[in-house]
Amino acid sequence: MTFKLDSLSFYASCIFIIALGLAAKGYNWGGFILILASIAQIWTNKPALSNPAKFIAATLLFYYTTFILSYFYHGEEASTLDQSSRSILVIPILFSLVATRINIKNFYYSIGICGIFLGAYAAYHVYIVGLPRAFYLSGFMPIQHGGIAMTIGLLSLIGYFELKRTNSTARYLNLVGTLAGISGSLLSGSRGCWFALLLLPIIVLIYKELFTKKNMGIVFIIATLFSLSLLAPTNPIRERVEQAGSDIQQIQSDQMNNSVGLRLVLWKSSIYSIVEKPLLGWGNEGRKENVKRQVDDKIIPDYGDHVYYHAHNQYLETTVIRGIVGLMGLLSVMVAPLIIFWKTYSSDYNKALPLMGATHVLASGSYFMTQAFLGHNSGSIFYFAMLAILLGLSLNIWRTNRL
């Protein structure tokens, strides 16, 4: 394989994806390498930019502008601008990938490798270390890494089907990556991430012409092994399902101090706050003060200040702090990419990359329902970097075939 400077950002993207699974905070150094490589490639090649790429860049800038507005209006700390800056730091990644030289098979392989690493970590944590949930060690976060693993597993499945078209033996790397990534998410016990599994049958239906009797046999074997695994003495999946059932029973008895109940309390608190200040929200400190007032007024129960640091819902969290303006910013970095992915998917050049992009956005959108996913460095880097990568590569192939 010949390495060329005009492929620099592409291979840096592959390194970033592998780094996601290679180390607990691989997204940090992997992202740093990717941004440096992208800037270097833009500096040397000065790529021409397409209108869709400019549109996405403008959308990312609009999203960040909502944080700047909140910073001045609410007198926020500078750290709020630092965390959200990931959204604009990925713009060089997008611009460089639009015009880079790519080897799409290597991209698929990198996703499969990442899934295998994440699944291996999860199995090690649960079955060797004996942790109650995967990714429950320092440097990891079960909910965040559970979402990352689920997304990688789904993207690896798309890569598997695409490699199957070419009858590549290496496609089994992606099949293993799919199983490992999804298993890693399940072992994390992050129930909010499991909703993204609804995308799996959709992906299979899209590739139904490639789904043979042999594939059906593999699915049957996997389902059997999964069912047997539930009988194991230590099984986070079964335990988390049972815990959810116990939480619901407690809620019916007005006992809300549990995982599900606390989320309902936090969502109730957020809705009350949004109604009071809908346009520009409360800001971070204002929200905390308002929650204390709600506790004093008996609107919500008092379970200690530490449980109220965020709403456990990205949509509500954004609206409470930055109002409807902030929510518009959040939705823009979801809807605008989906429009571009649909445009490139409809072009009949390469459907895999835009399908991966849509899967990434929709899966992340499901994580946003039960977690302030972008409020953590891992979630922010993962969402925006993967978004820039998949948009850049999709537009790259779309642009190349239109020339």
Residue 363 φ/ψ, nearest 5 degrees: -65, -45
Rounded to 10 deg, the angle between the 8-22 and 142-165 helix axes is: 130
156 token code pair: 């690896």
Residue with tokens 């992906």: 203
Q: Are 371 and 178 in contact (CB under 8 A)?
A: no
Q: pLDDT tens digits, the chain, 403 residues: what are they?
A: 444 567 899 999 999 999 999 988 999 999 999 999 999 999 888 877 889 999 999 999 999 999 999 999 999 888 889 889 999 999 999 999 998 888 999 999 999 999 999 999 999 998 899 898 899 988 889 999 999 999 999 999 999 999 988 877 888 899 999 999 999 999 898 888 989 999 988 998 898 887 766 666 666 666 665 655 555 556 677 777 777 677 677 766 667 767 777 888 889 999 999 999 999 999 999 998 999 898 889 888 887 766 677 888 999 999 999 999 999 999 999 999 999 999 998 776 788 999 999 999 999 999 999 999 999 999 999 999 999 999 999 999 887 765 4
Where do the domains of the chain lie? 51-101+257-403, 103-256
Contact (Cβ atoms closer than 8 angstroms) between residue 152 and residue 181: yes
How much is the pTM? Answer: 0.92
Identify the pLDDT of residue 138: 82
The residue among 206, 222, 216 whose CA lies nearest residue 359 is 206
Q: What is the pLDDT of residue 245?
A: 75
